[in-house]
Each structure stands twice: as structure tokens, then as C-alpha cells.
Amino acid sequence: MSTQNPQVATGPFAEPTPLGLIGLAVGCAALTPIAFGMPLTPSGLETAAMFCLLFGGGCQFLAGMMCFANRNLHGGTLLTAFSLNWVMNWWALKQIAAGVIPDHGIVLAVDVLFLVVFVMMMWVFGFFSKLLFFLLLDIVLLFVFRIANAVLQTQMFALPVAVCTVGLALLALWIAFGMLANPVAGRAVFPFPGPMYSPRAPKS
């Protein structure tokens, strides 16, 4: 993932990050009715599952592979790993639509691991952009609330999960639109703040 000018090729492919971020936003949109507790039929769950698979999973996987081909380690790692999590969302929704609930303990264990991964990625992406830092912070908070619900066996944090889902979609769209529109407009239509912090200067 990069905030460089998407018109400037840094590898065999054009900058793929906007594709991955738009896919992320569509996946979040598909999950938003579920996150806000709206009753869904098996047909509704199946519909959301396909959006998660095609956009959350497909767009991010494609973007991740293109990032790796462009020698973008950080973007490739984040987008590819997250894309496979969206495939799991697709599978979980399919299972729920069929009346089968995914195992609570296994899902909780993986969510805890994802939380650790995303905390690390949040810190790393802070060296690139404040927007990317806050995008990852949103994901971290989402997993914190999900884990709290699972551990406490409550839905007390269902609304914060839903708010984080919407916020994630909006942040993803802002970054994607900035990368697509700013170079064409010749100005920061969608402002991109600089890094959250700078790397330590090498000792002389």
C-alpha cells in the first residue's frame, strides 16, 4: 500500500491500492446491515456473502498480488492477508445461512491473532501516512470490540463494531479517491496528511 502518485508506475502494474480499498469498502457496506442488527433472511446472508467474496476477498487478493509484483512488501502483505479473511467472512455467512454456526472458540483464537497482527501493521503504516494509521486503528478497534463481545458473551459492543465497519468503509474510500482523483485534479481534492511519525535518524 502506498500513497505515491498512482500515475507513476513503480513496477509492472499501475498502483493497485485503490482497487483493494474499494473492494474493502464494498465488503464493509455488505456487512453494515448485519452489523447494525437488521434481521436478514438466508437470501440476505447469501447476498452479503457474495459481496464479501468478490469484493472484500477478490479485489484485495488481486491488489495484494499486484503489490507484491511491484515489490511493495507492506501493501502486498496487508491486502493479501486481509483478502483471505474476507473469504472466511464469505464462508461464515454461507454457513449461518445454512443454519450452521462457526465454532466460537476457533473464531475467537483467530481474532486475537489478527488483533496482534493489525496492531503491528498499524504501527508500521504510521511511517507512511496518518490516514493509513487511522485505517488500521479502525480495524484494531473493530477486532477489540469483536473479541470483547466474544469473551463476555454479550452484544454490548455490537454498536461500536457497526460504527467501526462504517468508518472503515469511509476511510478506505477517502484514501482510494485521493489516489485516483488528486493526480488528475492537480491538487489535494482528498487531502493526504503526512506520516504519523518519522523513522529514527541513523547514527552518524
Classify residue 193: in a domain, yes or no: no
Which among 133, 134, 132, 160 has a CA at the least distance from the CA of 147? 160
* 0.95 surpassed by pTM: no
Interval 34-46: pLDDT, tens? 999 888 899 999 9
If one counts the domains in the chain, the total is 1
**Residue 111 to residue 85: CA distance in whole angstroms:** 10
Classify residue 136: in a domain, yes or no: yes
Does 22 have pLDDT greater than 80? Answer: yes
Interval 134-192: pLDDT, tens? 999 999 999 999 999 999 999 999 999 999 999 999 999 999 999 999 999 999 999 98
Classify residue 3: in a domain, yes or no: no
